[in-house]
């Protein structure tokens, strides 16, 4: 698959992608919030596009000069597993490292919640060099939230 990674905003594509992933994004209010975040300048938006169509999105928020949070990553279901997610994370990580950032964190549903979909998510994060830090209850939702971190290294 050939796709392009670029910094751009596409809130309507974010809605389309999230609505196509009900196993992960089944809450309409949460989708509305992510779509609003995709238009918000507080978040950096990186897109994966194929032939001009947005097939993936990553939203990042820089909390401190040394750290940032991967707020959202989502890939269209028809192209999942073909490298767009890894390309988005690697692109974000490289650009953050170049700008002096040393840690990238992400939150997801923790392993104490039985879910095949979120087991896939955690596996993806581990495959993209994130390490589990801690699990909390009632952080992002009423269940367990796992915080993972990735050390960013400037590649020369």
* Residue 7 confidence (pLDDT): 97
Average pLDDT over residues 4-9: 96
User: Is 3.40.50.10090 the CATH classification of the domain at 4-151?
Assistant: no
Instruction: For residues 17 and 53, give the distance between their C-alpha atoms in angstroms, rounded to a whole number.
Output: 11
Classify strands 103-109 and 44-50 as parallel, antiparallel or unpaired. unpaired
Summarised one tens digit per residue, pLDDT across range 28-71 is 999 999 999 999 999 999 999 999 999 999 999 999 999 999 99
DSSP letter at 49 equals E
pLDDT above 70 for 156:
no
Beta-carbon contacts of 36 under 8 Å, excluding residues fewer than 6 positions away, are 11
DSSP H helices in 20-138:
28-39, 84-98, 116-127
Residue among 55, 57, 53, 50 nearest 34 (CA): 57
Tell me what percent of the residues of the chain surpass a pLDDT of 70.
99
Cross-strand pairs, 151 = 103
C-alpha 95/C-alpha 76 separation (Å) is 23
Convert the pLDDT of each residue in 108-130 to its tens digit.
999 999 999 999 999 999 999 99
Domain ranges of the chain: 4-151
């Amino acid at each position: 698959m050939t796709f392009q990674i670029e910094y751009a905003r596409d809130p309507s594509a974010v809605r389309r992608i999230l609505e196509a992933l009900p196993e992960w994004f089944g809450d309409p209010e949460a989708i509305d919030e992510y779509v609003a975040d995709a238009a918000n300048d507080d978040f950096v938006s990186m897109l994966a596009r194929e032939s001009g169509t947005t097939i993936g999105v990553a939203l990042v928020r820089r909390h401190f000069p040394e750290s940032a949070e991967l707020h959202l990553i989502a890939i269209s279901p028809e192209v999942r597993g073909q490298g767009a997610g890894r390309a988005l994370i690697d692109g974000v990580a490289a650009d953050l490292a170049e700008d002096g950032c040393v840690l990238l964190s992400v939150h997801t549903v923790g392993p104490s919640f039985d879910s095949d979909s979120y087991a896939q998510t955690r596996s993806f994060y581990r495959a993209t060099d994130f390490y589990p830090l801690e699990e909390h209850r009632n952080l992002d939702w009423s269940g367990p939230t796992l915080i993972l971190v990735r050390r960013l290294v400037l590649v020369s």
